Structure 1
Amino acid sequence: MDRLFIFFLIFLILPILQSCATVNNPVLRKDPLIGKIINAQTGVQINFESLIKDISTHDVIYLSEKHDNPEHHNIQHKVINSLIKNGLKPTLGFEFFSMDNTPDLLNFVDSGKVPHSKKTETIIEKNLRKKLGWDTHSDQMWKFYYDLLKIAKKEHLQVAGIDLPNTLKKRITRKGINGITPIEKDLIFSTQLTDKAYKDYMYSIFKEVHCGMSHGKMQSRLYDTWVARNDKMALSINQLHKHLKGPVIIIIGGGHTAYGLGVINRVTAIDKTIQQINIDLKEIDLTPSRLSEYIQPLDLEGFEKVPPADYLWFTQRVSYTDPCEEFKKSLQKMKKHSENFKRNNPPK
Structure 2
Amino acid sequence: MKRFGRFAGIALVLVVAALTARSCFSHDLIVRLSDRKEISFKQMMGDLRKVAVIYVGEVHDNPDHHVLQLRIIRGLHRAGVPLAIGMEMFTAGSQQELDRWVAGQTGTAAFQRIYRREWNLPWSLYGDILLFARDKRIPLIGLNVPRDITRKVGREGFASLTEDERRKLPPNITCDVDESYMAMIHRSYSSHGLSANTFRNFCEAQMLWNKSMAYHMVEYLRKNPGRTVVVITGGGHAIRGGMPVQVDRERPGLSSRVVLPDPVVRNGRIKAEEADYLWLSH
Q: What TM-score, normalized by structure 2, do the two folds share?
A: 0.83
Q: Deviations over 1:83-142 (max 9, x none)?
A: 111111210010111111111111111117xxxxxxxx8xx223223234448835xx32
Of 82, 89, 93 in structure 1, the residue corresponding to residue 86 of structure 2 is 93
Aligned residues: 263
Alignment correspondent of 2:151: 170
Identity of aligned residues (%): 21
- Does residue 50 (structure 1) correspond to residue 52 (structure 2)? The answer is no
**Which of the pair has the greater relative contact order for Cα pairs under 8 Å at 6+ separation?**
2
Alignment correspondent of 1:207: 189
Alignment correspondent of 2:141: 160
SS of 1:157 mapped into structure 2:
coil
* Unaligned residue ranges in structure 1 (runs of 5+): 1-12, 22-29, 113-120, 298-305, 317-348
* Unaligned residue ranges in structure 2 (runs of 5+): 7-14, 20-26
Alignment of 1:118-157 (within 5 A): 124-134=107-117, 137-138=120-121, 141-157=122-138
Q: Deviations over 1:246-268 (max 9, x none)?
A: 2100001110122x111111101
- Does residue 232 (structure 1) correspond to residue 215 (structure 2)? The answer is no
Radius of gyration: which is bigger? 1
Query: Which amino acid letter does the alignment assign opposite residue 308 of structure 1?
Result: E
Query: Which amino acid letter does the alignment assign opposite residue 188 of structure 2?
Result: F
Tell me if the contact between 2:115 and 2:123 (Cα under 8 Å) persists in the aligned partners.
no
Quick one: structure 1 residues 313 and 93, their matched pair in 2 at CA, closer, same or farther if it must change by over 3 Å?
same
Alignment correspondent of 2:162: 181
Using the alignment, how far apart are the partners of 1:133 and 1:197 within structure 2? 34
Query: Which amino acid letter does the alignment assign opposite residue 313 of structure 1?
Result: W
Using the alignment, how far apart are the partners of 1:197 and 1:59 within structure 2? 24
Q: CA deviation at 1:307?
A: 4.0
Q: CA deviation at 1:196?
A: 6.7
Alignment correspondent of 1:314: 280
Of 258, 269, 272 in structure 2, the residue corresponding to residue 294 of structure 1 is 269
Tell me if the contact between 1:283 and 1:315 (Cα under 8 Å) persists in the aligned partners.
no
Tell me if the contact between 1:191 and 1:270 (Cα under 8 Å) persists in the aligned partners.
no
Using the alignment, how far apart are the partners of 1:58 and 1:266 within structure 2? 17
Quick one: structure 1 residues 219 and 45, their matched pair in 2 at CA, closer, same or farther if it must change by over 3 Å?
same
Query: Which amino acid letter does the alignment assign opposite residue 230 of structure 1?
Result: N
Query: Which amino acid letter does the alignment assign opposite residue 232 of structure 1?
Result: S
Using the alignment, how far apart are the partners of 2:118 and 2:216 within structure 1? 25
Of 203, 207, 216 in structure 1, the residue corresponding to residue 196 of structure 2 is 216
Q: What TM-score, normalized by structure 1, do the two folds share?
A: 0.68
- Does residue 36 (structure 1) correspond to residue 18 (structure 2)? The answer is no
Of 73, 96, 106 in structure 1, the residue corresponding to residue 99 of structure 2 is 106
SS of 2:120 mapped into structure 1:
coil
SS of 2:160 mapped into structure 1:
coil
